[in-house]
Amino acid sequence: MLMANFRNTLIAAAFLLSVSCSGTTDNNNVDTTNSTASTGDSIVSGRVIERLVCKSNPAQSYALYIPTGMQNNVLPIVYFFDPHAAGALPLNKYKALADHYRFILVGSNNSKNGTQIAAIENIWQALVTDTKNRLHVDTNRMYVCGFSGGAKTASSIALGHREIKGVIAGGAALPDGTPAGNFPFSFTTIAGEGDLNMTDLIATNDDFGKTSTKHRIIFFNGIHEWSPESTMNIAFTGLQFDAMRNNLIAKNDFLIDSYVKESKDTINSFVNGNDLIHAEAACTLSAALLEGLSSEVSWFKQKNASIKGSTGFQNQWKERQTLLRQEETTKSIYMQQFQQGDLNYWTSTINDLKAKSKANTPEAAMNQRLLAYLSLSFYSITNHFVQASQDDQAEYFDDLYRLADSTNSEAWYFSALINTRKNNLTGAKSDLLKAVDLGFADKERMLTQVEFQVVAKDINLQEIAASIK
């Protein structure tokens, strides 16, 4: 049982959670009338450049991908914001789509969770100034995309800059306290079925339904993570369709017809598999994407009405709503248990969630979301106690963090920091190596961590930092 004298602090830390987590496009679709001038930089295409320093602000840098052989063409651009400032990560993940749709991709190496509004604006100004000066950017087609905290950053930028034509937001949506409104840009929400924020993302998309903002939500079978390439492909298709609707590029019937065929096949597959919830969602998505572009919109709307009117759908919908209510109730129970400090309870609960999240049942995705909720909860609480130098409490919750999310590099970084404070240098070195092996990439944070600097030679800090990819 944890000591009672820090329970109130624990509750406060827990509440921080509320503010934390195929057709080929032809050359006629490249607008050459609205571009920025190049400064003559020789930048290679077809390869992710991990770090370009902004000339007007050397403290800022970004990763860049120009579609193969397209460095001299005027192209649309997508600015990416990763929650850990890993600018190259989404570019490596989606560079094939950039080649296919002929989009320039840019990833900030500075924007990350916790960045203040003023700093975000500085990052954006440095990015947009440098890319406009260096690259052939179609200034009529500038987009932002982010994941988790990066999604809120992307949304924040779009809200303040009318030149942004579309937002793709994965794992989170609008900045905290910002309601859905009548925005001049399109809004694409991406939600993993196992994402702890899925219910919030659905609610935000529903709120957009009461506005004039062009919007859609895309689901994928995954957790709180950057979406698969196949899911982002649909989001990028949506940007193309937006541009066609707004007469920024020529209408591409081949791309439209290809999308219609693939979407119909997907919907029929869901129906044949009696997955009517996903069939209805796919109908809604396609109708939104194709509005004003194809007469096939009527097929998707009629199919949607037929599915929603069926007894099977009504039963599945009620079951889904029951599970969502159960999820919220379970979270409330967890909030109470955060105060108890019962290791047996949490060990049993986490192991049960892991087992159930892998089962082929309707509850599996809910259990994935609950497991992700606990991971974020334990992160927030551990971080609070680390910052407060309450190492015993931090160690307890970090043990739970690693139990719930053993492949999360941040959990092992915390463990290394706590072990260093407790003079367990062998454990600290092992945990740092584990963190790096699991993808920890913030070399500057590691090297400037005061606790690690004091024992740098004992734990081979420089060698560990050098192994960061």
Last residue of a domain, one of 251, 267, 292: 251
Tokens of 90: 């989404």
Q: What is the pLDDT of residue 262?
A: 97
Domain for residue 242, yes or no? Answer: yes
Q: Measure the CA–CA gap between 252 and 83, rounded to whole angstroms.
A: 34
Span 448-453, average pLDDT: 96
Predicted confidence at residue 1, as pLDDT, reads 37
Residue 181: how many other CB atoms lie within 10 Å: 13
The answer to whether residue 276 is domain-embedded is no
Tally of domains within the chain: 2
Q: 245 and 322, same structural domain?
A: no
**Has residue 257 been placed in a domain?**
no
Q: What is the pLDDT of residue 28?
A: 35
What gap in Å lies between CA 307 and CA 274, rounded to an integer? Answer: 10
Would you say residue 336 lies in a domain? yes
Residue where a domain stops, chosen among 226, 251, 276: 251
Question: Which tens digits make up the pLDDT trace of 204-223?
Answer: 999 999 999 999 999 999 98
Pair 202, 341 in one domain: no
For residue 280, give the nearest of 263, 255, 293 by alpha carbon: 263
pLDDT at 125 over 90: yes
Cβ neighbors of 107 (< 8 A, separation 6 or more) are 62, 63, 64, 79, 80, 81, 82, 86, 87, 88, 89, 90, 91
pLDDT of the residue at 20: 41
What is the per-residue pLDDT for 114? 80
Q: Contact, 248 vs 140, CB < 8 A?
A: yes
Whether residue 167 sits in one domain with residue 37: yes
Contacts of 148 (CB under 8 A, 6+ apart): 21, 83, 113, 170, 171, 172, 224
User: Residue 341 — pLDDT band, cuts 50, 70, 90?
Assistant: low
β-pair partners for 164: 142
* pLDDT-based confidence at residue 42 (cuts at 50, 70, 90): low
81 in Cβ contact with 43 (< 8 Å): no
| pLDDT given for residue 451 in this prediction | 96
- In this prediction, residue 91 carries a pLDDT of 98
pTM reported for the whole predicted model:
0.85
The DSSP element (H or E) to which 61 belongs, if any, is: strand 61-65
Kindly state the percentage of the chain with pLDDT values over 70: 91
d(CA 160, CA 155): 9
Q: Can you give the CATH number for the domain in which 399 is found?
A: 1.25.40.10
**CATH code assigned at 39:** 3.40.50.1820
Q: What is the pLDDT confidence band of residue 339, given thresholds at 50, 70 and 90? A: confident
- Is residue 34 over pLDDT 60? no
User: Is 12's pLDDT higher than 80?
Assistant: no
Whole-angstrom distance, CA of residue 354 vs CA of residue 368: 8
- Please report the pLDDT score of residue 92 as a whole number: 97
Does the residue 217 lie in any domain? yes
Q: In what order do the strands lie in the sheet with 215-220?
A: 49-53, 61-65, 104-108, 75-81, 137-147, 164-170, 186-192, 215-220
262 domain-assigned: no
Residue 32 confidence (pLDDT): 36
pLDDT tens for residues 410-449? 999 999 999 999 999 999 999 999 999 999 988 889 999 9
Does residue 429 form part of some domain?
yes
Q: What are the tens digits of pLDDT across the range 271-330?
A: 999 999 999 999 999 999 999 999 999 999 999 999 999 999 999 999 999 999 999 999
Residue 113 pLDDT grade (very low, low, confident, very high; cuts 50, 70, 90): confident
CA distance 145 to 188: 9
Place of tokens 């560990």: 464
What is the full DSSP assignment across 355-397?
Answer: HHHTSSSTTHHHHHHHHHHHHHHHHHHHHHHHHTT-HHHHHHH
pLDDT class of 30 with cuts at 50, 70, 90: very low
Identify whether 335 is part of a domain.
yes
pLDDT tens-place string over residues 138-163? 999 999 999 999 999 999 999 999 99
Mean pLDDT of the chain: 90
Same domain, 232 and 90: yes
Looking at the structure, tell me whether residues 233 and 328 fall in a common domain.
no
* pLDDT score for 41: 58
Domain final position from 251, 274, 305:
251
HSE, side-chain direction, 13 A CA sphere, residue 91: 29
> Residue 62's domain spans which residues?
26-251
Q: Is the pLDDT of residue 11 over 50?
A: no
The answer to whether residue 169 scores a pLDDT higher than 60 is: yes
Express each pLDDT in 48-71 by its tens digit.
999 999 999 999 999 999 999 999
My answer on whether 147 and 244 are in the same domain is: yes
Query: pLDDT tens, 371-382?
Result: 999 999 999 999
d(CA 102, CA 46): 11
Residue 84 DSSP class: B
Same domain, 320 and 247: no
Answer yes or no: are the C-beta atoms of 214 and 183 closer than 8 Å.
no
Same-domain check for residues 232 and 330: no
Instruction: Say which residues have a Cβ less than 8 Å from residue 255's Cβ, sequence separation at least 6.
Output: 23, 25, 237, 240
Report the half-sphere exposure of 394 (CA within 13 A, side-chain side): 21
What mean pLDDT is predicted for residues 219-244? 96
Residues 246 and 326 in one domain: no
Q: Are residues 338 and 245 in the same domain?
A: no
Same domain, 100 and 202: yes
Task: Check whether residue 247 and residue 322 sit in a common domain.
Answer: no
